[in-house]
Structure 1
Amino acid sequence: MSAPDHTSTTDLTTQPSTLASELFAPGVGAQAGPPTTPAADTGSAGQASPGVHSHGGPTPTGSPAERFTSVDPDAFGVPTGREETWRFTPMKRIKPLLDGADSDARLTWSTDLPEGVEVTRVDAGDPLLKGLPDPVDRLAALARQRSAGADVVRVPAEAQLDRPVSLGLAGTGSDEVVWGQLVVEVGPFAKATVVLDHSGLARYAGGVTVLVGDGAQVTLVSVQDWAPGAVHGGQYDAVIGRDATFKQVVVTLGGDLVRLVSNVQYAGPGGSAELFGVYFSDETQHQEHRLWVDHAVPNCTSNVLYKGALQGEGARTVWIGDVRIRPAATGTETYELNRNLVLTDGARADSVPNLEIETGEIVGAGHASATGRFDDEQLFYLCSRGIDAETARRLVVRGFFADVVQHIGLPELQDRLMASIDERLGALPALDDQPVEVG
């Protein structure tokens, strides 16, 4: 990220908050968050209703009919690793976050704010926070509680920003857990791109909520370029207004353990969500991305595309994609795709797409998942034209990621991330032991 115009810390001035209801048209509801009790005609929690069309593995699949949510960490209990939502996560490595110790440690903030954009601080009792989606696990509930408020980025209605809102969040190397809560409010019919750039060394648990006003167009880019040894757990929520468009691009490259849960819901019909992700796990790194898209209103669309690569002994990635189409969500169109490229032995990728369809009156719905090694046909094609095997493999990996990275829409950041991927490929072991046969 380029150097910001000015630097500030999270110790910001408190101003009266804007209620979330002001972002959305009357009658579509400002109260966010997946319901904690079953919707009408959807069966009891944890059970699908009769006639439900469900894709996924045997119960439990990670895509229950309803998800339990609460702002109280104790309501979830302390996970043991046997729970469905935690069974892939290395519990010893995330334990410092789950212990929930109070801490005054902070990340160092650097900001680059276009004209008209405000960054303020609100306390825990602010009405804005009471309308946010509830946490879906103990870690998110701890982050909400321990943060004692939130930093709020406000983009005014009908704003057309001349550059992205850039927030650099850097760890200082402290052993204390850093708790954080960020809310991004984008007014109706505004157009904005927000970049969260995480770096440095930290143990960080943070929540991010994006409130997309009616007719607004919002892109959120979250980069996890942490230093080795960093641990990051977080819940990302998007509440999308009537006829609004939301795009999220998650790029996870650094850190020892990164676990992000991304949730999408619609506050009115006509909303559109695109969720893109790129992750590259090196030796011993654990990168886990969980998504939940809740279609509960008519005529909304969602598209999910995540791609990951793994190399080195103990490299591990987890991708869980859940899409729910409720009975009232007629006219829904959704698709999710996850692809993983395993570059060396000793790496493991888990991929679980889930799709729950509770109405037949939809435009379309589908999902796909694939995990494998290099495409031999692509390598053969390149090598048969005089390109050496190592260069050919690099080109294949670059092409694998490029179609996702381009959705960021910021050339300078895209070039930086692709350069980081190239650097990792430079450390790819045993290329000479994996010859490509030509002819």
Structure 2
Amino acid sequence: MSVASTSNALPTTEQHGIKEHSDGRFGFVPVQTRSARFKSAEVTDFEAVTGREAVWKLSPVAKFTDLTAGELDGSAYEISSTDTADVDSSDITVGWVGRDDSRIGLAGLPEERASANAWTSFEQALAITVSGEDAKEITVSRANLGSAPRAAHTIIEAKPFSRAVVILQNNGDARLTENVEIILGESANLTVVTLQEWNDGAVHLANHFASVGRDARLKHVVVSLGGSIVRVNPSVHLAGSGSDIDALGLYFADAGQHLEQQVYVNHDAPHSRSRVTYKGALQGQGARTVWIGDVLIGNKATGTDSYEQNRNLVLTEGTRADSIPNLEIETGDILGAGHASATGRFDDEQLFYLQSRGISEDEARRLVVRGFLTEIVQQIGSPQLEERLQITIEAELTGTEGE
């Protein structure tokens, strides 16, 4: 192999049996910890997406190059909001703010190109601000964003000691990449539910960044049921002492659907707690789900209590579920940490038990799946939404094919 005779050419020798990389560098060191990933709000700081990158290797990147590399419509869009009748209107405000809003960037920054493209392109951010110690609930809905590639940015701020449930409802058509920033002040108690019920052809790439303050508690719930490609990646920074996160996910992939979640919890303060529980079901040829769970317990996070798990129930042939839990621990002074992952079919003993009591096989299967997913639904904390989701899951199950 010949080498051009330039002053900066590298020799093509071997070092202790290690061959030179194709990029010409022996000294390249990969990122060693999850928190060290490159971050930027500028799309041009990221290379073009090839699908070989760690963050993209399980995604069908060729199907949404317009969102990672193309120009995006970053204008404001139509929304509607409903809240409980007894909520003081001053306790929850919803409106559009400019890119110069001081809260933008407080919760996190993009780690990949689709997220950075959305950040670079949005013109105004939708700001939902919660205050007041009384419990309250609001649903913010958007629908039919169209088939053109679009960018969006949302800020959800919970003031100190505030309590609320915020539901983000998504319906209709969309080709959307967006960032959602969630900021919790001291002792705030906030539930954020993002509900993806898009039409069959929709593509939705979302990155959620959360910063949880001292003694604050966040419950973050991802429910993905509709859309062609839905990728919702929550990244939670437990920044204050005593901060707490329950990260919950529920997904049901039908034929041809790709539903993906990459969850990151960064324990960066003492006595923080995290519980990550994602559960999904798959049915139909080509149904695909991806779950990656990263938990980092930093060297300052003494007294941490952490556990993450992912469970997948395969209902038919021709499906694929990828489940990858990762745990990094930089201090030994913790209460506990662990992770678990499982993917499998129906429990034959459960089916036999139900059938032995006169329940048909099809109904027995539906009961098992309902029970499997109900664990997540019942933890949301919104009775009206929980009831609606139970009905939606039942409707999904009517299409279940026998094995």
TM-score by structure 2 length? 0.89
TM-superposed CA distance for 1:254, in Å, is 0.0
Match of 1:20 in 2: none
**Equivalent in 50, 54, 77 of residue 47 of structure 2:** 77
Q: Does the 8 A contact of 1:289 with 1:318 survive in 2? A: yes
* Residues 133 and 163, structure 2, Cα contact 8 Å, conserved in 1: yes
- Which residue does 2:57 correspond to in 1? 87
The code of the aligned residue for 1:131 comes to L
Q: Which deviates further from its counterpart, 305-314 or 175-184?
A: 175-184
Q: In the TM superposition, what is the alpha-carbon distance from 1:45 to its structure 2 partner?
A: 6.6
Report the CA distance between 1:375 and its aligned residue: 0.8
- 1:191-230 → structure 2 map (5 Å cutoff): 191-230=163-202
Supply the distance in 2 between the matched residues of 1:371 and 1:414 (Cα, whole angstroms).
25
- CA change 1:130–1:383 in 2 (3 A) is closer
Q: Partner of 2:376 in structure 1? A: 404
The answer to whether the 8 Å contact 1:106/1:178 transfers is no
After the TM superposition, which of the residue ranges 291-300 and 127-136 deviates more from structure 2?
A: 127-136
Q: TM-score, normalised by structure 1?
A: 0.82
Q: Decide whether aligned partners of structure 1 residues 362 and 319 sit closer, same or farther in structure 2, where only a CA change above 3 A counts.
A: same
Deviation at 1:206, TM superposition (A): 1.4
| Cα displacement (A) at 1:107 | 4.1
Residue 106 of structure 1: CA displacement?
Answer: 5.1
Distance 1:282 1:418 in 2: 17
> Does 1:246 find its partner at 2:231?
no
3-state SS, counterpart of residue 352 of structure 2:
helix
Give how far 1:120 is off: 2.5
Amino acid at match of 2:120: Q
Question: CA shift at 1:143, angstroms?
Answer: 1.1
Match of 1:185 among 148, 151, 157: 157
1:365 to 303, 328, 337: 337
Q: Which residue of 2 aligns with 1:135?
A: 110
**Counterparts of 1:47 and 1:413 in 2: how far apart (Å)?**
41
What's the counterpart of residue 356 of structure 1? Answer: 328
**Match for residue 124 of structure 2 among 131, 149, 154:** 149
SS of 1:140's partner is helix
Q: In structure 2, what residue type is equivalent to 1:168?
A: S
The residue number in structure 2 matching 1:7 is none
2:140 to 159, 167, 173: 167
| 1:401-428 Cα deviation digits (max 9, x unpaired) | 0011111122221121121111111111
1:46-92 deviation digits (Å, cap 9, x = unpaired): 126xxxxxxxxxxxxxxx45221111112121110011110110012
Could you tell me whether the CA contact under 8 Å between 2:236 and 2:264 is conserved in 1? Answer: yes
- Hey, what does 2:21 align to over in structure 1? none
Letter in 1 for 2:137: P
Residues 258-279 of structure 1 deviation map (CA, whole Å, 9 limit, x = unaligned): 0111000122100010000000
How far 1:203 sits from its partner (Å)? 0.7
Distance 1:383 1:204, change over 3 A: same
Residue deviations 1:307-353, cap 9 Å, x none?
00000010000000000011111100000010000100000000000
5+ residue gaps in structure 1?
1-43, 49-63, 435-439
Query: Does residue 299 in structure 1 map to residue 284 in structure 2?
Result: no
Q: Structure 1 pair 298/93, CA: closer, same or farther in 2 (3 Å)? A: same
Partner Cα separation in structure 2 for residue 279 and residue 107 of structure 1: 26
Task: Say if 2:74 and 2:122, in contact at 8 Å, map to a contact too.
Answer: no
Which residue of structure 2 aligns with residue 259 of structure 1?
Answer: 231
1:108 CA displacement: 2.9
- Structure 1 match to 2:80: 110
Partner letter of residue 75 of structure 1? D
Distance verdict in 2 for CA 1:406–1:131, change over 3 Å: same
User: Percent identity between the aligned chains?
Assistant: 44
Give the Cα separation in 1 of the matches to 2:76 and 2:124: 13
SS in 2 for 1:330: coil
Q: Give SS of 2:387's match.
A: helix
Q: CA offsets, 1:227-279, max 9 Å, x none?
A: 11000001101110100110011100000000111000122100010000000
| Contact 1:105 1:177 (8 Å CA) reproduced | no
Q: Equivalent residue of 1:242, what SS? A: coil
Tell me the secondary structure at the aligned position of residue 178 of structure 1.
strand
In 2, Cα distance between the equivalents of 1:266 and 1:370?
27
Is the Cα–Cα contact under 8 Å of residues 108 and 171 in structure 1 kept in the other structure? no
RMSD, aligned α-carbons: 1.5
Is the contact made by 1:45 and 1:67 (CA closer than 8 Å) also made in structure 2?
Answer: no
Map of 2:7 onto structure 1: none
2:22 matches 1:47: no
1:160 maps to amino acid? D
Deviation at 1:209, TM superposition (A): 1.0
| AA at the equivalent of 1:409 | G
Whose radius of gyration is greater, 1 or 2? 2
Distance 2:256 2:67 in 1: 19
Does the Cα contact within 8 Å between 2:238 and 2:265 map onto a contact in 1?
no
1:175-232 deviation digits (Å, cap 9, x = unpaired): 2112111101111011111000100111111111111110110000110000110000
* Distance 1:72-1:119 versus aligned 2 partners, 3 A rule: same
The 3-state SS of whatever aligns with 1:412 is helix
Equivalent residue number for residue 233 of structure 1: 205
8 Å CA contact retained: 1:311, 1:345? yes
SS at match of 1:408: coil
Q: What count of residue pairs does the alignment treat as equivalent?
A: 370
**Secondary structure, aligned partner of 1:183:** strand
**Is 1:271–1:300's contact at 8 Å kept on the other side of the alignment?**
yes
Name the structure 1 match of 2:395.
Answer: 423
Task: String of CA shifts for 1:128-182, please: whole Å, max 9, x gaps.
Answer: 21434111111111111111231111112x4314x4111011124x221121111
